[in-house]
Each structure stands twice: as C-alpha cells, then as structure tokens.
C-alpha cells in the first residue's frame, strides 16, 4: 500500500487515519494543534512535524480541515503542500469546502504536477472510525482511479460525480437537505405532539412511509429522542455548510424559497445556540420560536 498522509486529526481526520492504518496503509499524521498527532503514535500513525514534512513523505495526502480558507492556507501558504510536494502526489480534500476555492487550489497544484480530488464525506466521526463513510468525488478519471484503492480502505461507498469541484457542490447540496430535513421534521413532530400523537411513535410511523428522511431515520432516534446531542458535528460547522449552500444558489441564480427560508433560520440560530453545540440542537431553536 502507498504511504498516506493525513493533515487535520480532529473528529474526522483521526478516524480516517486509524481506519487507513487498520487497512494496511503506512499512515503519517500532522495537526496544527500541539500534541494531537503525537497521541496517535501508539496506534501506528507516525507524526510529522510540519506540513512540508508530511507532504514530502506521502504518496497520497488526505486533508480533513474545517474551512476553505484553512485549506488554501495549508496548500498555498509558505511551506505548504504546493511548495513541498513531489510530482505525482495526489491530494484528496475531504473538507466541506467552497467549490471555487477548490478549483483554485486544484489549479495551483496542477502547476506543480500534483493531482487533486475533492472527496467530502458523510457518516460523521463514527463513519470515519469504522470506515463506513460515503464519499462524493470530484476530479479527473485518472486521479480518482489512482486513489480508489486508498479511499476503499477508509469508506464504504464512493460516487464519482464529476470534475474537480463537483464533489464539493454535491456535499453542499447534501448538507442543505440535511438542514431542511431537520427543520421540517421538527415542525412535523411539534404539530403531531400538539394533536396528541406521541413523537416517537410518529417517527416510527414516518419511517415506514413516504415522509421518512435523514432526520426521522437517524437524527431523531439517535441524538434527539435520546437527548444525547453528541453527533460530533457542531452548529458552527452546519451553519457554515448552509451558508455555503446559500452562496451556491445565489451564484447560479437559483430561485429556491424553501432553501432560502432554511438558510435564514440556520443563520438566526446563532443568536441563541452556541457554535460548539451539537447541530441537532436546531430543533430546540425552532421550538423556542
């Protein structure tokens, strides 16, 4: 197996690195936060001291970062990936990122003969840790085929949706739908409860009918009804993703009133639900309104 570097060892990156190691890869790790990468040494992930170090030593480089701005800094900044990479390296960006930024990064890497695949993921920290994630991939046929054996080790399903940027467009739309499903389902639950129907029985019934969606199938049973609210995905990240979706719709002159209302509600939630809270808390914001 090739040597795979992982930059960004948070909830998702850590799980991906460990899944790759269990799958037989030689795995290197780097995180800007002191001590984070070192904690994985005992589990077989070799720490590298800098972006330049991990880039030079890797055949495939996985990015698991919070925002496009950070991806640009890591790739294009001084001592970054573009300045340190050897020709033939392929970068796979699993960040939920802004497509135009993605295309900018890919073009810069192409100038130094480095391939790029945008491969945002679904499945959360549990999916990363158990290699059961779904990945949507944007990139050339050649680059996607080259990294397929590596991605198969860390995910259960991969869909090549188009050229560079297409993966991030698809992921943004996916997360917009997730946000809409949570909002709409919270209204349905409150309406049924007010009419005397038990919320858990309602969701069980919906999951057997045409009204089922990601919120009824997963969010409510796993994190909301249990009052756990520990999905590992924060309000800050979800608000960012919904904001990216709003930007995408505006850039394409798409008339989407339902999405626009969802975007407004997610943005307004910042006034009463903190960035660090679990993103499923949005259902409580709707209840307060």
DSSP 217: I
**126 counts as catalytic:** no
Query: Which is it for strands 155-162 and 46-47: parallel, antiparallel or unpaired?
Result: unpaired
The one catalytic residue in 86, 171, 228, 236 is 171
Choose among 171, 189, 178: nearest CA to 215. Answer: 178
Is residue 68 a contact partner of residue 95, using CB atoms and an 8 Å limit? Answer: yes
Alpha carbons within 13 angstroms on the beta-carbon side of residue 136 total 20
Contacts of 178 (CB under 8 A, 6+ apart): 214, 215, 238
Element (DSSP H or E) covering residue 161: strand 155-162
- C-alpha distance from residue 74 to each of 54, 171, 185 (Å): 12, 21, 38
Helices 68-76 and 99-111 pack at an angle, to 10 degrees, of 10
Active site residues: 171
């Amino acid at each position: 197996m090739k040597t795979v570097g992982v930059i960004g060892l948070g909830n998702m990156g850590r799980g991906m690195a460990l899944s790759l190691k269990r799958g037989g890869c030689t795995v290197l790790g780097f995180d800007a936060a002191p001590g984070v990468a070192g904690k994985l040494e005992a589990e077989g992930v070799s720490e590298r001291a800098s972006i330049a170090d991990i880039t030079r030593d890797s055949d495939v480089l996985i990015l698991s970062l919070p925002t496009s701005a950070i991806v640009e800094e890591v790739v294009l900044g001084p001592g970054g990936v573009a300045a340190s990479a050897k020709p033939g390296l392929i970068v796979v960006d699993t960040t939920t990122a802004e497509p135009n930024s993605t295309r900018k990064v890919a073009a810069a890497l192409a100038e130094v003969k480095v391939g790029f695949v945008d491969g945002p993921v679904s499945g959360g920290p549990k999916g990363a840790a158990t290699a059961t994630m779904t990945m949507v991939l944007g990139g050339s046929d050649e680059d996607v085929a080259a990294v397929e054996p590596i991605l198969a080790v860390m995910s259960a399903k991969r869909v090549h949706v188009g050229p560079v940027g297409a993966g991030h467009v698809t992921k943004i739309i996916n997360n917009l739908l997730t946000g809409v499903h949570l909002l709409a389902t919270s209204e349905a639950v409150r309406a049924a409860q007010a009419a005397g129907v038990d919320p858990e029985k309602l969701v069980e019934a919906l999951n057997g009918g045409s009204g089922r969606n990601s919120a009824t199938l997963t969010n409510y049973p796993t994190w909301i009804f249990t009052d756990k609210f520990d999905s590992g995905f924060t309000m800050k990240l979800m608000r960012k993703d919904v904001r990216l979706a709003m930007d995408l719709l505006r850039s394409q002159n798409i008339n989407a009133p339902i999405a626009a209302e969802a975007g407004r509600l997610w943005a307004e939630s910042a006034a009463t639900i903190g960035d660090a809270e679990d993103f499923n808390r949005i259902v409580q914001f709707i209840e307060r309104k």
